[in-house]
Structure 1
């Protein structure tokens, strides 16, 4: 007689499955980006001067910046969680990743393996990256009606990028990746967080709105400019621009206090076509 396997329990958030930690519901600022996430790596290699991850995860910054390392037994554990999500009927997008970059400068074959596991178990996929065209090797896995490709952009200027994100792909390379995914019919979005320079973030919208479907707008934290930037003026200028262009956007909590009363700012929008 076959044993009846109980249906997995869904957590009170309505989207994550109890007992799963490799596919999970991020909290705080991370939770503003995605309902579900997965993190295949420790460390990164993009050497972003503003990166908060070493502090949050209690990793030595030098070790973190040295490069990404595969998490032990990751695919087996990810698959075990994905099976539970399939049995629970959860089909949300899972974003890779918050504690590293799916297209860091090293070997990213674990990213492809992870995306395949998620797809094969009925989940949507999304990658958020500063890796630019390194992501194109996986473009065949993305489906217009299920998935999304996203890039973090802080400036269009190479020198600015090399100062703040010395190991990341240059801005033009990131734009090329967004264009290529857009041309394949994949939903694209841009993270304008951190905003290190107000004019740079506004210029990014001007340069990318023809091939970007959604913008998520935040500020920079933990730096002196956090206290000296006029975030209210920035928020108003940004929403005026995005409204004029007819672009979907989400203003993150750090800036929501500057929104006009009653301003529509849904946390979740459909991130696929």
Structure 2
């Protein structure tokens, strides 16, 4: 005789297939209904495993087809739920998480923005121009699509869960942020809360800041929230290092940022430097010399808009020497598209020179390139 574990609680119902019994306990498939609509398909496997495996928020393709699968594999369960409609499939509005386009897309495949505006007040900031100029302020403002910070983090979690199930975000990681410094006093709280959730979900996190104090505070808070930072926690902290403090009015001094990078790297976290805009070759080389040994990746690009201060002829000889130096220290460098564009499409080839999709968490810190000279020419 068939046995079922159907139940009803308020507007929630659970319909099950015939209950079987194995060495680990009861085994059956079930369908969850709420408000008259199917909200989940699940299975129970005794004390081994179980739970919802398909819902309107996750595995959406599976959710659309699961009802038909029950028709052939569990017909008695299908008969119970055949006339119950599926809940509306969740589609994120990309309020918090989105895929950057254009030049931002060169920097990260996935990004999160909670705020617009930044108190660093950098003179060269691209956000002061273009589409964000009309909402830009030196006081960070929570984006208008969020009711409050609680709504912002709830939206973030829902969007991240969806993208984990339906995209490449677990392999490509999540970047904070393009429309503010994510580690200001005003923005750091949401950043650390979101980063903790992402890391627990095994989503790599990369954060770019000009705040030395904010970066150290972030690492301390995150470590407490996670019960310690472990090697499998994929976290990378980056610092913008142009070397021109006078253009970065309220940011931490370059010296402080470098010291914070050294401290964070010593804790076992990945670190990277964003040298963009590169305003002077000599200053850039000084920054690299000061950070070799505790910076895993350098991202180097040119000024966006305005008169270009870098001479292409000097840049052409600068790139091989710097790439060799970085590679010999066991680090990597990404020369951004703006560099190649200035050099009429030339791209320098070297084991230490990587593309925009390079995974910072795959770097082998023990690898030094031992050749005595840069060995590959530019390639067109």
Band of TM-score, shorter chain: 0.7 to 0.9
Cα distance, 1:232 vs structure 2:
4.3
Q: 2:257 aligns with which of 171, 174, 181?
A: 174
Tell me: CA distance 1:256–1:8, structure 2 relative to 1, closer, same or farther (3 Å): farther
Q: Aligned residue for 1:241?
A: 322
Q: Is the 8 A contact 1:93 1:147 kept in 2?
A: no
Q: Is the 8 A contact 1:82 1:117 kept in 2?
A: no
Q: Distance in 2 between matches of 1:220 and 1:27?
A: 18
Q: Deviations over 1:193-232 (max 9, x none)?
A: 01122221121111111110111110112233x1x53034
Instruction: Provide the secondary structure at the position in 1 that maps to 2:98.
Output: coil
Q: Aligned residue for 1:69?
A: 141
Q: Aligned residue for 2:294?
A: 211
Q: 1:29 aligns with which of 89, 103, 106?
A: 103
Tell me: CA distance 1:253–1:32, structure 2 relative to 1, closer, same or farther (3 Å): same
Q: Deviations over 1:85-129 (max 9, x none)?
A: 233374132010011111125352111112122223331111000
Q: Aligned residue for 1:12?
A: none
Aligned length: 257
Instruction: Provide the secondary structure at the position in 2 that maps to 1:191.
Output: strand
1:93 has 2:173 as partner: yes
Query: Structure 2 length as normaliser, TM-score?
Result: 0.62
Q: How does 1:6-155 map to 2 (within 5 A)?
A: 7-8=59-60, 19-21=92-94, 22-60=96-134, 64-65=137-138, 67-71=139-143, 72=146, 73-88=151-166, 90-91=169-170, 92-106=172-186, 108-139=188-219, 140=223, 143-145=230-232, 146-155=234-243
Q: Is the 8 A contact 1:144 1:272 kept in 2?
A: no
Instruction: Provide the secondary structure at the position in 2 that maps to 1:266.
Output: coil
Q: Deviations over 1:53-111 (max 9, x none)?
A: 132333348x512x212332311211110110233374132010011111125352111
Instruction: Provide the secondary structure at the position in 2 that maps to 1:64.
Output: coil
Larger Rg: 2
Q: Is the 8 A contact 2:206 2:237 kept in 1?
A: yes
Q: Is the 8 A contact 1:40 1:70 kept in 2?
A: yes
Q: Distance in 1 between matches of 2:128 and 2:91?
A: 27
Q: Distance in 2 between matches of 1:28 and 1:231?
A: 23
Q: 1:271 aligns with which of 360, 369, 378?
A: 360
Unaligned runs of 5+ in 1: 10-16
Whose strand fraction is larger, Structure 1's or Structure 2's? 2
Q: Aligned residue for 2:19?
A: none
Q: Distance in 1 between matches of 2:197 and 2:131?
A: 25
Instruction: Provide the secondary structure at the position in 1 that maps to 2:361.
Output: coil
1:252 has 2:252 as partner: no
Unaligned runs of 5+ in 2: 1-14, 16-30, 32-37, 42-54, 62-89, 363-380
- The structure showing larger relative contact order (alpha-carbon pairs under 8 Å, at least 6 residues apart) is 1
Cα distance, 1:154 vs structure 2:
0.5
Query: Structure 1 length as normaliser, TM-score?
Result: 0.84
